[in-house]
Chains A and B, each alone.
Chain A
Amino acid sequence: KNEVEQSPQNLTAQEGEFITINCSYSVGISALHWLQQHPGGGIVSLFMLSSGKKKHGRLIATINIQEKHSSLHITASHPRDSAVYICAVTGNYGGATNKLIFGTGTLLAVQP
């Protein structure tokens, strides 16, 4: 079982739809990251959060520490939002600090 699990793995949406991507984790963490990777591109950090909610433009990220769950929401989705969205957590395990563990990503395709 992966320590960080995302759902769905693949998501197709129509332009303008509200999108939710979920992330559940099974380890103790200090922070959770949402990352974006466009096809053929590098990885960009969207959010880093350890509690509550953060908003940046049309993107909203929430985290529930008790339930070990985070969601990434995209409002008024646009084809340029098409990318892989990756959830990652940082914590202290495996004998080292700040080990990053990644989910396998959610491939989002927003159709015009």
Chain B
Amino acid sequence: DVKVTQSSRYLVKRTGEKVFLECVQDMDHENMFWYRQDPGLGLRLIYFSYDVKMKEKGDIPEGYSVSREKKERFSLILESASTNQTSMYLCASSLEWDKATFGSGTRLTVV
């Protein structure tokens, strides 16, 4: 089975901290995505990457950056965490048109 693994299930960080959320997939997928999920807003795309070292902004990239140094790993970085970044973060990966696999999510609380 394809696996998309997010390093932390729950995370609590302080305002102003630099936060790294890690996502690893084991199926050589080209495309990887980071979303956040908020009540009433559904899942919104933060950043995506379609190849190593390639990245594209999604719908809500402000306050975030990403890194894709290796094909299997896509990191989401909160440069200076703020309370409005408290959310559920979801990573996904896909090969071509029809194989999207999701991680189990990281619930981040910024205090």
Residues of A at under 8 Å CB distance from B? 30-31, 33, 35, 40-45, 48, 50, 86, 88, 90, 92, 95-105
Is B43 positioned at the interface, with any CB of A under 8 Å from its CB? yes
State the majority secondary structure of interface residues on B: strand
Cross-interface CB contact of B42 among A31, A44, A86, cutoff 8 Å: A86
Contact (Cβ within 8 A) A102 B42? yes
Q: What number of residue pairs across chains A and B have CB atoms under 8 A from each other?
A: 73
Cross-interface CB contact of A104 among B42, B98, B102, cutoff 8 Å: B42
B9 to chain A: which residues have CB within 8 Å?
A: 42
Cross-interface CB contact of A48 among B98, B103, B104, cutoff 8 Å: B98
Number of B interface residues in the complex (CB < 8 A): 28
State the majority secondary structure of interface residues on A: strand
Contact (Cβ within 8 A) A102 B35? yes
Contact (Cβ within 8 A) B90 A90? no
B90 to chain A: which residues have CB within 8 Å?
A: 42-43
- 8 residue pairs A–B, Cβ–Cβ below 8 Å: A31-B98, A45-B100, A45-B102, A90-B100, A96-B48, A100-B94, A100-B100, A102-B35
